[in-house]
Amino acid sequence: MKISQRQIRFAVRGAIILAIGSILLGIGIRTLVIVGMEMAPAQGLIAYWLVVLLSTALIWGIGGAFFGAILGMFAALIWREDVSGEQNRGFLVPTVRRT
């Protein structure tokens, strides 16, 4: 099976979008847990938060990029372009065909 440029483009965009979203979600969840359980140290607060935020971004970002690339590939297979070059908006939006 040959991978088209369109599938690669969708995979890269999906990976970037899902990685950014998962990084933000991961940082938010981990910050809430740390603040809620009062686990932040009294000294060295800036260094602690830098390590926490960078490790969270790395872990969640890699996972999000991997699954985003997979979902982007599937989206490229599902989302077809019409012969006229216009994109199909999906089955919920009626597509007007020009004859």
What would the pLDDT profile of 41-98 be if each residue is shown by its tens digit? Answer: 888 889 999 999 999 999 999 999 999 988 888 888 887 665 455 555 555 555 555 6
Structurally, how many domains does the chain consist of?
A: 1
Model pLDDT, residue 11: 87
> Does 86 fall in a domain?
no
> Does 35 fall in a domain?
yes
> Does 83 fall in a domain?
no
Please state the pTM of the whole predicted model. Answer: 0.69
> Does 40 fall in a domain?
yes
Model pLDDT, residue 29: 93
> Does 95 fall in a domain?
no
> Does 61 fall in a domain?
yes
> Does 99 fall in a domain?
no
> Does 36 fall in a domain?
yes
Position 37 pLDDT exceeds 70:
yes
Question: Domain range spanning residue 12?
Answer: 5-78
Which amino acid, 95? Answer: T
Model pLDDT, residue 4: 81
Cα→Cα distances 5→1, 32, 51, 81, 86, Å: 13, 40, 38, 14, 17
